[in-house]
């Protein structure tokens, strides 16, 4: 059940990024899929919702690239 919730959180983050900013690079998608903290994913989701651009999202998120 925990793994399912983690997988859902990863998918939701990728979906929000794709919807807001267009396609997500395979590199970023792979980085997101390696995140094993649901709290970290929730924080990234909040950042994705607040950011005005993909670059702004990347600047605010330590450890993720700031370009697609």
Per-residue confidence at 58, pLDDT binned at 50, 70, 90? confident
Question: CB–CB of 31/68 below 8 Å?
Answer: no
Please give the pLDDT value at position 23: 86
User: How do residues 5-52 score in pLDDT, each as one tens digit?
Assistant: 899 999 999 999 999 999 888 888 999 999 999 999 999 999 999 999
The pLDDT of residue 68 is: 40
Residue ranges of the alpha helices (H) in the chain? 2-21, 26-33, 38-50, 54-60
Q: Which two three-digit tokens encode residue 14?
A: 């990728």
The model scores a pTM over 0.85: no
Question: What is the four-CA torsion angle of 19, 22, 25, 31, rounded to 10 degrees?
Answer: -30
Q: Please say whether the beta carbons of 6 and 46 come within 8 A.
A: no
Higher pLDDT, 26 or 63: 26
């Amino acid at each position: 059940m925990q793994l399912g919730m983690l997988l859902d959180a990863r998918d939701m983050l990728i979906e929000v990024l794709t919807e807001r900013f267009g396609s997500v690079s395979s590199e970023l998608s792979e980085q997101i899929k390696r995140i094993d903290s649901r709290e970290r994913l929730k924080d990234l989701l909040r950042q994705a919702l607040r950011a005005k651009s993909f670059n702004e999202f990347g600047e605010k998120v330590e450890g993720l690239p700031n370009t697609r």
